[in-house]
Structure 1
């Protein structure tokens, strides 16, 4: 993450000052995010509508799209702007199909050097009996083979609403993630559902401290209310760790309350 703060000194080594464009899943939204000087980080979803062979920018079956990953990367490479990029793979097929394409764009690390940072994101582990969309072993092997220098963004399947007792990152879940990532040589940020943070503070601190390069990227699920518990959890975590170790892809309301705390 040091490279991010070097490129965006106005963030003052504090992840709360790096602004996201979330679910940037159309050409218009991408071009708008690239031209907006207030945005430093862009997140987009990658999906494959089988039996099609063309990977597209889409959140899934509820979001039809003809905006291909190929076109998306073309725009990134030809833009005069330099922003951070997270590609969130929404299915096993999408991830496996995308890796050779990303490799073809990344000759001599051209893509990785063009952007401020490129995270490859996937849910690789389950939670409370739920299976992940993408098998962790397959995803990590594909990343190592096709994009060996790209930082990773790794997470768990989180199907529960934030009010559910299962809406938690347990000690066991964190131990499993540490075990599967301890031999990785690229930096890892762990994508953490913000609505789960308040119940998960101690395990998340263990995860963050497991390796010096580990960071957390908090993301917001639209179904989770931005209530007192939500904000309190983020505030407690933010106060417990270094400010350059957490990114906040959460609503403006939550950011305002955190900054005022």
Structure 2
């Protein structure tokens, strides 16, 4: 009986240790609040709790997540103290230490600390570290680190490198809440989150490799941006999105929020909306009939990616599509297995999709940018610059030039020009002896209107070597040029697939990362303890 009791104690201890290892984790926010019924729409937020009175009212209410700003009183002096206020110039009647003590009396309330001054982060986290034993609730650290719509001239951006480094070092299990500085009205009158903004955010948070991250987006621009939010959710289960609004935001169109909910994972979409906005959204959602998901053309599981951190390259494989970001030839994606046409040519290899060229926030360099699809490819070389070395390259440049080239014979190529555009659809047909490359100007998925002109081109490459007996025949995509990144949508492959024996190359790819090592370690410890007490 005593042995059995000891076994139960060991198992319970191991369980508690594992739960503690995941404490403060956004992954568990819906488990921490079972009343939310595993739906982010049901999480209740309260913010701007920068006074004793406001905090007391929120603690007595039904709010689940409590948000307040952290600044420094007597900033830059030996007497500086973290206080709850939007800036060091503001008056506050409560310090961070007092605020934490009050909140942790109510263990059913999560914490969101909003930093608008990077100098306040380390002093605040020093205090949080002293209070860590009390912090058994979801814990978010928020900062606006990227310029969003109409926010290019803002001075309120937090320097992301320092913010991320401090939180990474002090609270390895907390959730990063990262946002954009934005203005509803501005000189540029931007009305959406652009791909450039999305990639800037992903780049700024690239060193966050184990923490959960919730990316914050303003609701007023969801109508023209929701597809990008779903794309982010498709990168990894560590990512969630938080949609927010202010009381005065002229939010009248809720279609984007409804589409986001219909197409995204409702367990990883949160809504920190003004009272009237959340009330309207819940009313609309109640009237939306259940939707049946349509099969995706793109299959993330067919692909792998690799990139070079030396040239700032990133490969993003989402359930919704892919992106290649960085300098020229800084990364690529390729099929996990081989694809080719059938031996008799009756079942050709067909590769098709859409490519969008996206501006980068870098100094312009000479030359066009290109999306290069390589069929019949051999594995690429890995290094500072990753260059395709074998296969048939079908390239589209943003200046309208299209090209087919045998990489083993640089003199064997065909090219043609159509009008320059941001988006093109393409189709490659390989019947074993002839390759046809069709390209057409297309409407970008986030564009309001179709292109003002339609243009297309076709190239037919004859007398290519029959690859029916080839042992390696991959499909790859790379990016040439420094000025633009590329986004791939509706990318599909048809043909004969055969398994390739390979060693996966580690790359700078945005994929799901979980603390598996910690779980394995704790499992081993639990097993050893059980053996000891047996």
Q: Output the TM-score relative to the length of structure 1.
A: 0.87
Please give the per-residue CA displacement for 1:203-250, whole angstroms capped at 9, x wherever unaligned.
2222222222100111213441232x2x22222222221211111111
Matches within 5 A, 1:23-172: 23-36=48-61, 38-49=62-73, 50-51=75-76, 53-60=80-87, 63-77=90-104, 79-106=105-132, 110-113=133-136, 115=137, 117-127=138-148, 129-130=152-153, 133-161=157-185, 165-172=189-196
Query: Which stretch shifts more, 248-257 or 134-143?
Result: 248-257
Task: Supply the distance in 1 between the matched residues of 2:248 and 2:89 (Cα, whole angstroms).
Answer: 16
1:209 maps to what in 2? 234
Give ranges in structure 1 of 5+ residues lacking alignment.
Answer: none
Matched, 1:260 2:283: yes
**Deviation of residue 88 (structure 1)?**
0.5
**Deviation of residue 27 (structure 1)?**
1.3
Task: Supply the distance in 1 between the matched residues of 2:157 and 2:204 (Cα, whole angstroms).
Answer: 16
Output the aligned Cα RMSD.
2.3
2:250 maps to what in 1? 225
Matched, 1:3 2:28: yes
SS in 2 for 1:198: coil
SS in 2 for 1:86: strand
CA shift in 2, pair 1:248/1:100, >3 Å? same
Task: Supply the distance in 2 between the matched residues of 1:20 and 1:62 (Cα, whole angstroms).
Answer: 26
SS in 2 for 1:129: coil
**Deviation of residue 60 (structure 1)?**
2.8
Task: Supply the distance in 1 between the matched residues of 2:111 and 2:187 (Cα, whole angstroms).
Answer: 30
Task: Supply the distance in 2 between the matched residues of 1:11 and 1:150 (Cα, whole angstroms).
Answer: 20
**Deviation of residue 118 (structure 1)?**
0.3
Query: Which stretch shifts more, 160-169 or 190-199?
Result: 160-169
Matched, 1:185 2:206: no
CA shift in 2, pair 1:73/1:143, >3 Å? same
Q: Which has the higher strand share?
A: 2
Task: Supply the distance in 1 between the matched residues of 2:86 and 2:141 (Cα, whole angstroms).
Answer: 15
Q: Which has the higher helix share?
A: 1
Q: Among 139, 157, 175, which residue is 2:199 paired with?
A: 175
Please give the per-residue CA displacement for 1:81-124, whole angstroms capped at 9, x wherever unaligned.
32111101121222233222222222xxx2442x2x00000012
Contact 1:219 1:248 in 2 (8 A): yes
Q: Which has the higher relative contact order, 1 or 2, with Cα contacts under 8 A spaced 6 or more apart?
A: 1
SS in 1 for 2:157: coil
CA shift in 2, pair 1:143/1:111, >3 Å? farther
**Deviation of residue 150 (structure 1)?**
1.1
Please give the per-residue CA displacement for 1:44-97, whole angstroms capped at 9, x wherever unaligned.
1112243461121112367421311111112123x1432111101121222233
SS in 1 for 2:130: helix
CA shift in 2, pair 1:156/1:9, >3 Å? same
Task: Supply the distance in 2 between the matched residues of 1:225 and 1:239 (Cα, whole angstroms).
Answer: 23
Number of aligned positions between the proteins: 252
Contact 1:162 1:196 in 2 (8 A): no
Task: Supply the distance in 1 between the matched residues of 2:251 and 2:86 (Cα, whole angstroms).
Answer: 22
Q: Output the TM-score relative to the length of structure 2.
A: 0.44
Task: Supply the distance in 2 between the matched residues of 1:162 and 1:197 (Cα, whole angstroms).
Answer: 18
CA shift in 2, pair 1:130/1:99, >3 Å? farther
